[in-house]
Chains A and B, each alone.
Chain A
Amino acid sequence: MNISKQEAQASLAEIENVISQTRRAIAHGGTGTKLIIWGIIWLLGYSSSQFFRNINGTIWLLLILFGVIASWICGVRNKPLTKNSNYGRVGLFWLILFGYALVWLVLLQPVSSKAVGAFWATIPMFAYVVGGLWFGRFFVWLGLIVTALAVAGFFLLPAWFDLWMAITGGGALILSGLFIRKFWR
């Protein structure tokens, strides 16, 4: 069987396209809704860090607890596209990532709450960039853009960093969630 270079190239492009499309369809189960939930949590959490510094720790704790429960409910309600896939591994991945992030925080001992805020903002974005290598460029770009916004805000707007993250980080997550709900099918 002989084919031209152009046909081989078109076949490879089609394979890559179908693989990404399938992975997106598998990941779709509630992904958009989860991004919106976490976007709202970022918006409220970082706003509380900017305006209610004395109680922001409690607010963040309650918001994260709400986010974990809401994400779990969202995952249960969305029927998976495939059988036998080990979906538990995704949850385990996030637990391991945040466990390591806690260890790094203890070892690095950041001196300001702003540095802690920037640190936590980049952890899930790192996961998005790495996950994007399998699920498609969309997550790579989302992760890179929010990370760039976090770094820019950290150095350029130190006094308003938390508000900056609330609007840009939270906003990016909410917009991405809306995008996925509309276009990923």
Chain B
Amino acid sequence: MAELNSTIHQPVRLQIMASLMALEREAQIDFSSLGKLLKLTDGNLGAHLQTLEEAGYVKIEKKFVERKPRTLVSLTRKGRYEFEEHVAALKQILG
């Protein structure tokens, strides 16, 4: 039986995880694009991403793309699994 995940259930983190779930597997999204998409400030997004990274749900990579520093975010396999479990638990509540 699937269980609710308190780390994912927090509203902002739920949005971040849902947005990353919409990407293809292995795909990365730019930190600033994700912030713009979810209408989050850099500080707010950064803090929640850190929590998700510590839980092992997201991977954050800093790279130089065309000589500019970019922070790229992607969902880990564990993150995808935990999110699917959380969604299954939500559906179970609805019956």
Residue-by-residue, is B48-90 near A (CB-CB < 8 Å gives 1, otherwise 0)?
0000000000000000000000001000000000000001001
Whether a CB of chain B sits under 8 angstroms from the CB of A113 is: no
With an 8 Å Cβ cutoff, the count of chain A residues facing the other chain is 24
With an 8 Å Cβ cutoff, the count of chain B residues facing the other chain is 29
Give the total number of A-B pairs whose CB atoms are below 8 A apart.
Answer: 79
- What is the bound-complex CA distance between A158 and B88, given in angstroms? 51
When distances are taken between beta carbons in the complex, the residues of chain A under 8 Å from B23 are 22, 26, 82, 85
Looking at B22, B30, B90, B91, the one whose CB has the most chain A CB atoms below 10 A away is B22
Residue of B nearest to A134 (CB): B22
Cβ–Cβ contact A83 & B22, under 8 A: no
Residue-by-residue, is B18-34 near A (CB-CB < 8 Å gives 1, otherwise 0)?
11011110111110010
When distances are taken between beta carbons in the complex, the residues of chain A under 8 Å from B29 are 81-83
Cβ–Cβ contact A12 & B90, under 8 A: yes
- What is the bound-complex CA distance between A22 and B28, given in angstroms? 13
Within 8 A of B (CB), among A59-109: 81-86
Cβ–Cβ contact A82 & B27, under 8 A: yes
List 6 other contacts, CB 8 Å, given A1-B3, A25-B37, A81-B29.
A12-B90, A19-B18, A20-B22, A23-B22, A83-B28, A85-B24
Residues of A within 8 A of B (CB): 1-3, 5, 8-9, 11-12, 14-15, 18-23, 25-26, 81-86
Residues of B within 8 A of A (CB): 3-6, 9, 11, 14-15, 18-19, 21-24, 26-30, 33, 37-38, 72, 87, 90-91, 93-95
